[in-house]
């Protein structure tokens, strides 16, 4: 006979994060999911993020079972922008990014037409120094932006340009999960992405995307995009200067523009970066803990750290962008895609 798991809760960071802790030892994470899945899901929506502490888990299939119990089947990692290793269906390593570098705040896969609602971060080993998870409330961020900036991007969206070249970032094969150009073409056709083969192994893609989303449950609008994260000026300054000089704004591995293809001024990018920073909180996720984020409400990132640090990620709860734009009911801005300046 099993007994109910006894838990306690604590609001943290002005309520953006809810801590949910086991009051006794020996409780399994999979059992928590079965017993308290609905409660956890409701708290994620209410607060934006939760941290689970004191629940035992060991193997990757347990993580899959837990995610299924709370929010449904984990999602695949499509249209990739960073290297990850799939450890079990729907369970991936965290972004393989140098430990000495920060990962700037962003909302996961917001440049896809179908985006994950929930992000699960399972900490198997915390760093001995650094490595905090950075979170920012995108609802508050949107409300704090200068009206002119917010209104233009909400109305028009933004343009994302990606260039795939050998030896510079992800290859197109890694990003699209295939070595068949016809499959890449089919994916792009189905996902409002225009592609252009500039050389045999140099692929450029262009896609217009919305910048502001309406939460499907709460109806609250949030700043939900990859515009700042992918902009050239969010790279380290020396790296950005080199790449811009070598390849130009339209030749960068990733860069973002106004919807008409014109460059976003550096001062606007700095304004957006400062808005994220103003909302940023540092959440230390300890060994054995699980951080769950409502991806539409809360951006995430990572502070630099001293290895080792071992974190696994699952994504779940897909929403089409058309669901997040209740007025237009379309997944991407319906305007002609601009081309590179000659």
Q: What is the CATH number of the domain that holds 288?
A: 3.60.130.10
What pTM, to 2 d.p., does this model score?
0.96
Mean pLDDT across 318-328: 96
Residue 33 has pLDDT above 60, yes or no: yes
Maximum Cα–Cα distance across the chain: 73
- Summarize pLDDT for 120-166 with one digit per residue, the tens: 999 999 999 999 999 999 999 999 999 999 999 999 999 999 999 99
As a whole-number percent, the residues of the chain with pLDDT over 70 amount to: 98
Cβ atoms within 10 Å of 323's Cβ, excluding its own: 16
Residue with token string 């709860």: 317
74 domain-assigned: yes
213 domain-assigned: no
**Do you know the residue count of the chain?**
342
Mean pLDDT across 162-180: 92
63 domain-assigned: yes
- Summarize pLDDT for 329-342 with one digit per residue, the tens: 999 998 889 999 87
Mean pLDDT across 266-278: 98
- Summarize pLDDT for 202-241 with one digit per residue, the tens: 999 999 999 999 999 999 999 999 999 999 999 999 999 9
pLDDT at residue 222, as a whole number: 98
> Residue 123's domain spans which residues?
7-98+114-128+284-319
- Summarize pLDDT for 102-131 with one digit per residue, the tens: 999 999 999 999 999 999 999 999 999 999
Residue 281 has pLDDT above 70, yes or no: yes
Residue with token string 């006894």: 6
Residue 3 has pLDDT above 90, yes or no: no
Domain count, the chain: 1
Tell me how many degrees the CA angle 143-144-150 measures, rounded to the nearest 5: 70
Alpha carbon distances (Å) from 265 to 196, 203, 256, 339: 26, 26, 11, 19
Residue 169 has pLDDT above 80, yes or no: yes
73 domain-assigned: yes
pLDDT at residue 143, as a whole number: 96
pLDDT at residue 94, as a whole number: 81
pLDDT at residue 230, as a whole number: 97
pLDDT at residue 79, as a whole number: 76
228 domain-assigned: no
198 domain-assigned: no
Mean pLDDT across 50-55: 98
290 domain-assigned: yes
Confidence bin at 1 (pLDDT 50/70/90): very low
pLDDT at residue 92, as a whole number: 85
Mean pLDDT across 269-297: 98
pLDDT at residue 342, as a whole number: 73
Residue 83 has pLDDT above 90, yes or no: no
Average pLDDT, the chain: 94
Mean pLDDT across 242-271: 97
103 domain-assigned: no
């Amino acid at each position: 006979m099993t007994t109910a798991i006894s838990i306690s809760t604590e609001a943290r960071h002005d309520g953006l994060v809810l801590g949910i802790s086991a009051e006794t030892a020996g409780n399994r994470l999979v059992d928590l999911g079965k017993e308290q899945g609905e409660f956890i899901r409701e708290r994620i929506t209410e607060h934006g993020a939760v941290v689970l502490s004191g629940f035992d888990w060991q193997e990757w299939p347990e993580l899959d079972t837990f995610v299924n119990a709370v929010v449904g089947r984990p999602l695949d990692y499509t249209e990739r922008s960073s290297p990850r290793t799939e450890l079990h269906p729907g369970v991936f390593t965290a972004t393989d990014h140098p430990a000495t570098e920060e990962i700037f705040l962003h909302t996961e896969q917001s440049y896809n037409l179908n985006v994950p609602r929930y992000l699960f971060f399972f900490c198997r080993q915390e760093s001995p120094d650094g490595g905090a998870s950075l979170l920012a409330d995108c609802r508050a961020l949107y409300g704090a932006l200068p009206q002119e900036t917010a209104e233009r991007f909400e109305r028009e969206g933004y343009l994302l340009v990606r260039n795939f070249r050998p030896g510079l970032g992800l290859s197109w094969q890694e990003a699209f999960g295939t070595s068949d150009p016809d499959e890449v073409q089919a994916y792009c056709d189905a996902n409002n992405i225009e592609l252009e083969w500039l050389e045999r192994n140099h692929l450029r893609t262009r896609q217009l995307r919305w910048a502001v989303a309406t939460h499907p449950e709460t109806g609250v609008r949030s700043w939900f995009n990859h515009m700042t994260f992918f902009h050239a000026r969010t790279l380290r300054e020396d790296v950005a200067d080199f790449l811009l000089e070598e390849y130009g704004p339209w030749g960068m591995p990733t860069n973002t523009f106004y919807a008409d293809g014109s460059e976003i001024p550096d001062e606007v990018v700095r304004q957006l970066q400062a808005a994220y920073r103003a909302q940023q909180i540092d959440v230390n996720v300890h060994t054995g803990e699980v951080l769950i984020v409502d991806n539409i409400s809360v951006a995430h990132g990572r502070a630099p750290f001293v290895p080792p640090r071992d974190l696994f990620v699952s994504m779940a709860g897909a929403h089409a962008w058309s669901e997040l734009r209740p007025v237009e009911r379309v997944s991407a801005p319906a305007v002609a895609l601009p081309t590179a300046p000659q």
